[in-house]
């Protein structure tokens, strides 16, 4: 794309009003009362008497053929209504919806039919009067397996002769491609220093306290399924789930209920809904399937990224970054439902906040005998942040440069800025964020303290400083720009809102697929509506609409909710106001151009005495048709289907991926840690975090996400890992071993906000919900490495468990001290 | 595996001040009894192995994990759940402070956290933030990172002390 | 994760409880104390007792009393009661400190000292306290009661010297003069310990007269480190360098010959290293407390 094309393709630059009444206020969330009263209405709360319950029998083997399943005894057990095996399910249902590269050959079903491919994969489901009775019956199912060799290490999976996870694919490499952006060869030829490293990021996952669940009812009278679930997204794509259930798309209605957390793991997680629906049709009854914790850990289909990086960073001696070569192997597990979209997230901000001119990105997706990856807060971009910041710190050490100075030297300072991949950073001020972080962190104070504690007490204190990006609002192109000839080059990721003004002037906002995950969509919408109509946000009624007869919507993910809801509300409000203007003008007997919106109604310009409030306009439109011209319909409700406001197409040669993630936030995290070299324990002495997500709608709410995201980042950095042993057994199969940080592992954060508005969005908002987790692992790794630098130790593998830290200390020899 | 037919036991207990008599299977978990038999769905299930604390309720004023407690073990006891906190349409200071300080995001851990907070403040009406943080380590939260929860409990403690001074 | 079915009784006397254990022996009966170890296992369906005998209503099984220089604790005494007890704080501060490290308050409100000891988790705190304190465990069976020394009580992972028809009724802890310390390493605060150390140090003037050390997390049961104790006897508590050296030597002696199992949290080598570290820290803390006591 040329510069001219790029300018033409950008949305118009907006003026943002300086006067905002509700946007920017840390109001109490409108969602809260029901949750505080214990009336949250989560999926498990909605099970009515007479609903049957399902339980899934999971494979104990990482890789095995299913030779025989005997279900007669289970079927005869008390309270059992049905037992459905994977073979049965393959007749009742088509494969699961799958955005992977080759679904026909890495076929994914709701239950394994001929072969199990990971410990925990479902092989049968029992439907009974209660979950207790269903689990009793599970124990009566006899399965004869023929164990097969398991493949667990992704590099070995890619090597010749590895056991094949999917024979039909004839390889464990589900996808492989090398992309070159900019002039990589030149930058590397001209570089004075090449900094190299190998880095390993192990998989962790969202693990919200509420698992995925669905209540399904099949109505044979209409041939329709109605499913309540805590995982509704991408409504326009639900025809795929309907196809799985072998019904037409307009015979499937999926209705959202509040979710007890998601962090990505409830994004398009349709397997429980499919299982519940299949069971409902088989039994003729309403069926609930609620994952329990072991189901979720082993079989959720939402493990996070699991990567091996080999990286080269081309530098000049003065610290200028020229180019980067990234070779990444990503262990996707046994299926690959979202393709390599996680790498699209990386490519959106692959050069971080730096003026790196060229990128080579070689990605290989390996299949192994593990649960598949899904979505986890950051969706792969947090891993790139970590890798890049590790390289920057390594470069600083090798070149003898200060970690702050090397970053400043390379900061992007002019916006909008197009990075080598073609994506754009819409706005930013990285110096300002860094300055504020250094101040809040008392950086120079801690550097002095670090030195003192080392010299006087022999303690190992480390300060991590990272500056990194947090992209928001993904485009559909990142699903398919991986292929030169994609099967489905989709370009829609809309979000819709309907606004209805009733005869009393009360406003109802209808959300479609924009599920509540803890991310406050109701409060966001209420604040936007209040801003538009000068009402109280607590007077706005919010309704969630099901998929079948709802408007198209995508739901939360990629920090898109705030921007997309802002656009949808703005659009719908604009239409309401346009009709209300005409109506008011008619009632005031004046030309529509002579009225203006002011303080809750339309008034004659400059004459507040001659005004019609929204309520007056609304009641007239609802009840007094004959007061209006023939072409004006009764009522006052309008909808907006808000499409992604800034997407451009990739070039045919894929040297330019176009704009696909334009609203670019940024943050700086500065943790101070102490490493106990006798035990490998890492404790926090201080933690400062400054984020810039554009204009903030509810600053307190964003701060809450920063802390929560950072807590998950602490988990990823130090505690959380889905551990599979060399035989493919899942060792961390419960909360006893999958370690979630408690209040004692998470420090109090000192939080700062910077706001550089987006030029392209309503109010200049950007997304920010993922940010904490996108920064913390990089920052904590940097801090630990800073602490252990005097011992010559640098950790390049997450999580940095005590075992890994102590192993590194032992390997460094007696000089490193170490335990014992 | 036992082939004994399921039998039931009669239990009598008080829940949020209201007496109940019920027939339950011995294996019925207290959390399921509260949620399904009594319709009190405010108490949630997070793990069913006694680690996360989502299912926390009070038994005779002491916090317990109802997912690793049988209903029969609550025979004769007084159980308090989140549904009993608000009185006459008015929220408990803890509930109100959680809203004021944004001590919740998804709300799933919140009922258990609130009940634990009741116990914390009953034992120590004037805790420091560090004491609160240490005490709530019993209850996992995946959303908030605990900071605003701590602030909410401190805020509630102050309000409850002030009310007590006024009424005493 | 729902537990499998079982028959249930909540007897009111010890004799009744013992009788039920005998009567329903073929149903694989188990005693239910607080349930905080047993019920999770049942939810995972790793334990499937056919009969549960709930001790909650049996009179006389809980309480704390002093018999001369023995602290007698009923097996059904809740851990939270031990934590708050002024008698335990004075007579068995090692127990008080260890109890404070057992999981979290909600678990301690239900969990009992008898339940924890009878469960005999190799990584649990209280077996180490019993060993270090030379406690006697009192069991009641059809033939009457008997005393089992802590050294004989723990026979393997999750297994004790209790016969299938016996119930632990009482723990008898000799009162220890001197200093105590219970220290442990866990990855998440109050989560299961990777290794733990119970240390008791008694001084005669400035010299260590008696030491008792026990470890968890490094063997199939909690173990007593008698070789390490021997190293410490006679050491001069007033000599910081001397104590440090003695503690290090004792720590080395304690782990000599141990072959702990590894798991995803710690390899055998790391466990041994942590054991040495926590032995040193425990000895140091107990010794300084012993000096402050005088």
Tens-digit pLDDT string for chain C (294 aa): 999 999 999 999 999 999 999 999 999 999 999 999 999 999 999 999 999 999 999 999 999 999 999 999 999 999 999 999 999 999 999 999 999 999 999 999 999 999 999 999 999 999 999 999 999 999 999 999 999 999 999 999 999 999 999 999 999 999 998 999 999 999 999 999 999 999 999 999 999 999 999 999 999 999 999 999 999 999 999 999 999 999 999 999 999 999 999 999 999 999 999 999 999 999 999 999 999 977
* Segments making up each domain of chain C, as ranges: 7-54, 64-174, 179-293
Distance CA A165, CA A184 (A): 35
Tokens of A554: 């995508």
**Number of CB pairs < 8 Å for B and C?**
99
pLDDT at position A150 over 70: yes
Three-state DSSP class for C174?
A: strand
Average pLDDT over residues A647-661: 96
The β-bridge relationship of strands A601-604 and A595-598 is antiparallel
What is the number of structural domains in chain A?
1
Phi, psi of A682 (to 5 degrees): -115, 125
- The b/e string for A589-606 (b: 16+ C-beta within 10 A; e otherwise) is ebeeeebebeeebbbbee
pLDDT at B4: 46
A295-310: per-residue pLDDT in tens? 999 999 999 999 999 9
* Angstroms from C165 CA to nearest CA on chain A: 28
Check CB contact under 8 Å for C6 and B26: yes
pLDDT at B167: 66
Phi-psi region of C253 (alpha: psi -120 to 50; beta: other; left: phi over 0): alpha
With beta carbons under 8 A apart, name residues in chain B contacting A746: 145-147
Distance CA C64, CA A574 (A): 74
- Give 3-state DSSP helix, strand, coil % of chain C, rounded to 5: 40, 25, 35
DSSP string, C4-31: PP-EEE--SSHHHHHHHHHHTGGG-EEE
ipTM of this complex prediction, to 2 decimal places: 0.97
B132-148: per-residue pLDDT in tens? 999 999 999 999 999 99
Q: Locate the chain A residue with the closest alpha carbon to B55.
A: A209
Q: Using CB atoms, pick whichever of B9, B119, B135 lies closest to residue C8.
A: B9
Which pTM was predicted?
0.98
Q: Domain range for residue A9?
A: 3-30+494-540+548-642
Q: Using CB atoms, pick whichever of C7, C44, C80 lies closest to residue B7.
A: C7
Distance CA B110, CA A603 (A): 46
Average pLDDT over residues A760-776: 96
Q: Residue A214 in contact with residue A289, Cβ under 8 Å?
A: yes
pLDDT at position A459 over 80: yes
Distance CA A208, CA A206 (A): 6
In a domain, A331, yes or no: no
A312-332: per-residue pLDDT in tens? 999 999 999 999 999 999 999
In a domain, A16, yes or no: yes
Distance CA B136, CA B95 (A): 16
Which of B143, B144, B153, B156 to mutate against chain A (most A CBs within 10 Å)? B143
pLDDT at A803: 98
B26 touches A at CB < 8 Å? no
The β-bridge relationship of strands C159-160 and C154-156 is antiparallel
Q: Running DSSP on this structure, what letter comes out for residue A715?
A: I
**Which positions 67-86 of B are in contact with A (Cβ < 8 Å)?**
81-83, 86
Distance CA A305, CA A523 (A): 31
pLDDT at B5: 47
pLDDT at A1: 62
- Domain C64-174: give its CATH code: 3.30.465.10
With beta carbons under 8 A apart, name residues in chain B contacting A210: 44, 46, 106, 108
Domains of chain B: 9-84 (3.10.20.30), 93-167 (1.10.150.120)
pLDDT at position A820 over 60: no
Check CB contact under 8 Å for B129 and A748: yes
- Give 3-state DSSP helix, strand, coil % of chain A, rounded to 5: 30, 25, 45
Q: Which residue has tokens 């299938």?
A: C164
Mean pLDDT of chain A: 97
- The b/e string for A782-793 (b: 16+ C-beta within 10 A; e otherwise) is bbbbbbbeebeb
Instruction: Please state whether the peptide bond connecting residue A799 to the residue before it is cis, i.e. omega within 30 degrees of 0.
Output: yes
Average pLDDT over residues A537-553: 96
pLDDT at A514: 83
B83 touches C at CB < 8 Å? no
CATH 3.60.20.10 fits C7-54, yes or no: no
With beta carbons under 8 A apart, name residues in chain C contacting B64: 106, 109-110
pLDDT at B1: 38
Distance CA A720, CA C121 (A): 24
CATH of the domain at A527: 3.30.365.10
Diameter of chain C measured on Cα atoms: 61
Top-level class of domain C179-293: alpha beta
Q: Locate the chain A residue with the closest alpha carbon to C266.
A: A803
Q: Locate the chain C residue with the closest alpha carbon to B76.
A: C57
Average pLDDT over residues B104-128: 98
């Amino acid at each position: 794309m040329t510069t001219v094309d790029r300018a033409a393709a950008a949305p118009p630059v907006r003026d943002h009003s300086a006067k905002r009444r509700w946007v920017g206020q840390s109001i109490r969330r409108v969602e809260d009362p029901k949750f505080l009263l214990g009336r949250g209405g989560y999926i498990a709360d909605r099970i009515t008497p007479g609903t049957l319950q399902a339980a899934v029998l999971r494979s104990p083997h990482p890789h095995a053929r299913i030779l025989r399943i005997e279900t007669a005894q289970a079927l005869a057990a008390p309270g059992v209504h049905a037992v459905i095996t994977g073979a049965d399910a393959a007749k009742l249902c088509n494969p699961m919806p799958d955005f992977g590269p080759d679904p026909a050959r890495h076929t994914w079903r709701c239950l394994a039919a001929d072969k199990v491919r990971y410990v925990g994969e479902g092989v049968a489901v029992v439907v009974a009067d209660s979950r207790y009775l269903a689990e009793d019956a599970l124990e009566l199912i006899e399965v004869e397996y023929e164990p097969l060799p398991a493949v667990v290490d992704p590099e070995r999976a890619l090597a010749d002769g590895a056991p094949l996870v999917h024979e039909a694919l004839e390889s464990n490499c589900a996808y492989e491609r090398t992309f070159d952006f900019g002039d990589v060869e030149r930058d590397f030829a001209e570089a004075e220093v090449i900094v190299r490293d190998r880095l390993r990021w192990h998989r962790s996952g969202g693990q919200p306290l509420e698992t995925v669940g669905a209540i399904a009812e099949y109505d044979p009278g209409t041939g329709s399924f109605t499913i309540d679930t805590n995982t509704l997204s991408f409504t326009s794509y639900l025809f795929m789930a309907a196809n799985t259930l072998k019904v037409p798309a307009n015979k499937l209605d999926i209705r959202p209920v509040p979710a007890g957390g998601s962090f990505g793991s409830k994004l398009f997680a349709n397997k429980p809904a499919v299982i519940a629906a299949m069971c409902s049709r088989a039994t003729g009854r309403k069926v609930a399937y609620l994952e329990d914790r072991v189901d979720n850990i082993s079989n959720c289909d939402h493990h996070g990224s699991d990567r091996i990086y080999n990286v080269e960073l081309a530098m000049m001696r003065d610290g200028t970054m020229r180019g980067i070569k990234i070779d990444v192997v990503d262990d996707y597990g046994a299926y690959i439902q979202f393709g390599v979209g996680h790498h699209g997230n990386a490519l959106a901000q692959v050069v971080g906040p730096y003026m790196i001119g060229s990128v080579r990105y070689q990605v290989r997706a390996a299949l192994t005998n593990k649960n598949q990856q899904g979505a986890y807060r950051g969706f792969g971009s947090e891993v790139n942040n970590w890798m890049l910041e590790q390289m920057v710190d390594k470069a600083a050490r090798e070149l003898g440069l200060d970690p702050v100075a090397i970053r400043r030297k390379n900061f992007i300072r002019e916006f909008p800025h197009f990075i080598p991949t073609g994506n754009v950073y819409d706005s930013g001020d990285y110096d300002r964020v860094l300055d504020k972080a250094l101040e809040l962190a008392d950086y120079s104070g801690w550097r002095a303290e670090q030195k003192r504690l080392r010299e006087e007490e022999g303690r190992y204190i480390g300060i991590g400083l990272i500056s990194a990006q947090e992209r928001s609002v993904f485009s559909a192109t990142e699903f398919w720009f991986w292929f030169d000839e994609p099967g489905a080059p989709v370009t829609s990721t809309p979000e819709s809102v309907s606004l209805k003004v009733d005869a009393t002037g009360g406003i109802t906002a209808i959300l479609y697929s924009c599920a509540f995950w803890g991310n406050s969509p109701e409060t966001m919408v209420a604040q936007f509506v209040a801003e538009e109509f000068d009402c109280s946000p607590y007077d706005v009624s919010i309704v969630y609409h099901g998929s079948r007869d709802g408007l198209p919507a995508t739901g939360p993910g990629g920090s898109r909710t705030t921007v997309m809801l802002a656009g949808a509300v703005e659009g719908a409000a604009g239409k309401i106001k346009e009709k209300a203007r005409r109506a008011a003008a008619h009632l005031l007997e004046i030309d529509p151009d002579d009225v203006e919106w002011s303080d809750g109604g339309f008034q004659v310009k400059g004459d507040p005495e001659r005004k019609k409030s929204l309520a007056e306009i609304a009641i007239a439109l609802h009840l007094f048709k004959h007061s209006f011209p023939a072409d004006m319909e009764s009522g006052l409700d309008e909808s907006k289907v808000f499409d992604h406001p800034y997407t451009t197409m990739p070039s045919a040669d894929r040297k330019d991926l176009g704009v696909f993630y334009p609203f670019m936030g940024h943050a700086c995290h500065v943790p101070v840690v102490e490493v106990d070299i006798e035990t490998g324990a890492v404790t926090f002495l201080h933690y400062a975090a400054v984020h810039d997500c554009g204009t903030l709608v509810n600053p307190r709410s964003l701060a809450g996400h920063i802390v929560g995201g950072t807590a998950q980042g602490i988990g990823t950095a130090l505690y959380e890992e889905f551990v599979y042993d060399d035989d493919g057994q899942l060792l961390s199969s419960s909360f006893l071993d999958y370690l979630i940080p408690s209040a004692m592992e998470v420090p109090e954060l000192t939080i700062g906000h910077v706001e550089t508005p987006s030029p392209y969005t309503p109010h200049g908002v950007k997304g920010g919900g993922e940010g904490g987790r996108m920064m913390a692992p990089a920052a904590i790794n940097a801090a630990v490495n800073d602490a252990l630098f005097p011992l010559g130790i640098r950790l390049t593998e997450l999580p940095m468990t005590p075992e890994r830290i102590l192993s590194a200390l032992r390997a460094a020899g007696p000089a490193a001290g170490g335990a014992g | 595996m036992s082939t004994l037919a399921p039998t039931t036991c009669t239990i009598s207990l008080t829940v949020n001040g209201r007496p109940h008599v019920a027939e339950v299977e011995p294996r019925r978990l207290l959390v399921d009894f509260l949620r399904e038999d009594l319709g009190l769905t405010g108490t949630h299930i997070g793990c069913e192995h006694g680690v996360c604390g989502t299912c926390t309720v009070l038994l005779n004023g002491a916090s317990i994990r109802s997912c690793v407690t049988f209903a029969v073990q609550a025979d004769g006891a007084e159980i308090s759940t989140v549904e009993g906190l608000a009185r006459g349409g008015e929220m408990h200071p803890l509930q109100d402070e959680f809203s004021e300080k944004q001590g919740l995001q998804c709300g799933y851990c919140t009922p258990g956290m609130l009940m634990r907070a009741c116990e914390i403040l009953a034992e120590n009406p004037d805790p420091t933030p560090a004491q609160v943080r240490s005490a709530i380590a019993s209850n996992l939260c995946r959303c908030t990172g605990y900071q605003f929860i701590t602030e909410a409990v401190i805020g509630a403690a102050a309000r409850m002390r002030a009310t007590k001074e006024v009424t005493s | 994760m729902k537990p499998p079915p079982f028959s249930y009784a909540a007897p009111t006397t010890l004799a009744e409880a013992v009788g039920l254990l005998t009567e329903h022996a073929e149903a694989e009966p188990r005693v239910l104390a607080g349930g905080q170890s047993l019920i999770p296992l049942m939810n995972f369906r790793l334990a499937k007792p056919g009969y549960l005998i709930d001790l909650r209503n049996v009179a006389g099984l809980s309480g704390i009393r002093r018999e001369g220089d023995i602290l007698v604790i009923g097996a059904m005494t809740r851990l939270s009661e031990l934590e708050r007890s002024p008698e335990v704080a004075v007579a068995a501060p090692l127990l008080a400190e260890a109890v404070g490290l057992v999981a979290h308050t909600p678990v301690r409100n239900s969990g009992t000292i008898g339940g924890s000891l009878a469960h005999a988790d190799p990584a649990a705190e209280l077996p180490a306290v019993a060993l270090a304190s030379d406690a006697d465990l009192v069991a009641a069976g059809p033939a009457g009661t008997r005393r089992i020394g802590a050294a004989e009580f723990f026979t393997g992972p999750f297994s004790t010297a209790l016969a299938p028809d016996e119930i632990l009724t009482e723990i008898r802890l000799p009162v220890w003069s001197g200093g105590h310390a219970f220290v442990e390493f866990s990855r998440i605060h109050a989560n299961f310990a990777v290794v733990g150390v119970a240390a008791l140090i008694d001084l005669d003037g400035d010299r260590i007269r008696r030491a008792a050390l026990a470890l968890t997390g490094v063997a199939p049961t909690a173990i007593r480190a008698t070789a390490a104790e021997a190293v410490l006897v006679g050491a001069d508590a007033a000599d910081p360098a001397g104590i440090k050296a003695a503690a290090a030597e004792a720590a080395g002696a304690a782990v000599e010959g141990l072959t702990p199992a590894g798991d995803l949290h710690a390899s055998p080598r790391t466990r041994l290293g942590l054991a040495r570290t926590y032995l040193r820290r425990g000895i140091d803390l107990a010794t300084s407390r012993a000096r402050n006591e005088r």
